[in-house]
Amino acid sequence: MTQSNPRISKAVIPAAGLGTRFLPATKATPKEMLPVVDKPAIQYVVEEAVAAGLSDVLMITGRNKRPLEDHFDRNYELEEALSRKGDESRLKAVQASSDLATMHYVRQGDPRGLGHAVLCAAPHVGDQPFAVLLGDDLIDPRDPLLSRMVDVREREGGSVIALMEVDPSQIHQYGCAAVEPTADGDVVRVTQLVEKPERAEAPSNLAIIGRYVLDPAVFAILRETEPGRGNEIQLTDALQKLAADEKAGGPVHGVVFKGRRYDTGDRGDYLRAIVRLACEREDLGPEFRDFLRSYVTEEMQRN
């Protein structure tokens, strides 16, 4: 177990997935680059890490992920063209993604699951606690979650996961936690974790959503974790070992999130995320809401 409690500065973002649910859009474009309104989904996630004070970002990528590196790098020709035109606001938007964080990339090579992706971060992370953010979950910046998790890690040590109550019929899509309450209303002690259980076997309706603050002890456990569900090395299985055996690098706490989360993992959720975020935008929202209102009225008249 790591005794010291250094400030967390590194974020790891697994981004090696093939994005098969969005084919053919993802044939030549990484799914992380699909726009959510006018920004690629992955930029929201990097912005969230930076907002929580984590400005060293490691992306775990794979083949065909070059556009991710280009997006967070300078684009001098484009910047030149925009500044010649005097288009300051677009110039700022283009520069924002390259100024955001210190980006690092490592390739996963042989994608063997989320646990394996996190293990690829070990040489970069070293012996420090670190955060993991999964790109399919967008957390509304008005409801900060990661900074709360960092606070809990700094107070309690060990690892901290993000949990959210879901309808029991949905729990088979998530890692699921058995928990005990703590003195803090939004913080629980995790006693057991199961990856994507059947509804009947789920110990609760608390789902892991894609934010983790991990003790570096997780790396040693991951090295010994056998492939689990889907024949993949599961991060949930490694965290279960930490939760069950405090000497291995526990404890594991959960922050129960009640804020706004947008799922961009499948096509229906992705569409809903775009509509919700577009409605809330100051520049696009008012007109888009008007459109939606008349669209819904027409739909209701038709049915």
Q: Which residues are at the interface with ligand G1P (CB under 6 A)?
A: 114, 134, 136-137, 174-175, 195, 207-210, 234-236
Both structure tokens of 111: 């994608």
User: Rounded to an integer, what distance in angstroms lies between the CA atom of residue 249 and that of residue 204?
Assistant: 24
Contact in structure between 103 and 57 (CB atoms under 8 Å): yes
Residue written as tokens 């957390």? 139
* Residue nearer to ligand G1P on the CB measure, 71 or 196: 196
* Residue nearer to ligand G1P on the CB measure, 94 or 139: 139
* Residue nearer to ligand G1P on the CB measure, 205 or 236: 236
Smallest distance from ligand G1P to CB 211, Å: 9
Smallest distance from ligand G1P to CB 115, Å: 8
Contact in structure between 54 and 284 (CB atoms under 8 Å): no
* Residue nearer to ligand G1P on the CB measure, 94 or 207: 207
User: Rounded to an integer, what distance in angstroms lies between the CA atom of residue 18 and that of residue 22?
Assistant: 9
User: Which residue number places its CB atom closest to ligand G1P?
Assistant: 175
User: Rounded to an integer, what distance in angstroms lies between the CA atom of residue 18 and that of residue 114?
Assistant: 13
Both structure tokens of 294: 């008349």
Smallest distance from ligand G1P to CB 74, Å: 31
Residue written as tokens 């556009």? 67
User: Rounded to an integer, what distance in angstroms lies between the CA atom of residue 180 and that of residue 157?
Assistant: 17
Smallest distance from ligand G1P to CB 144, Å: 18
Both structure tokens of 137: 């979950």
Smallest distance from ligand G1P to CB 232, Å: 8
Residues in the chain: 303
Smallest distance from ligand G1P to CB 174, Å: 3
* Residue nearer to ligand G1P on the CB measure, 71 or 261: 261
What's the sign of the alpha-carbon dihedral 80, 85, 90, 96?
positive
* Residue nearer to ligand G1P on the CB measure, 94 or 174: 174
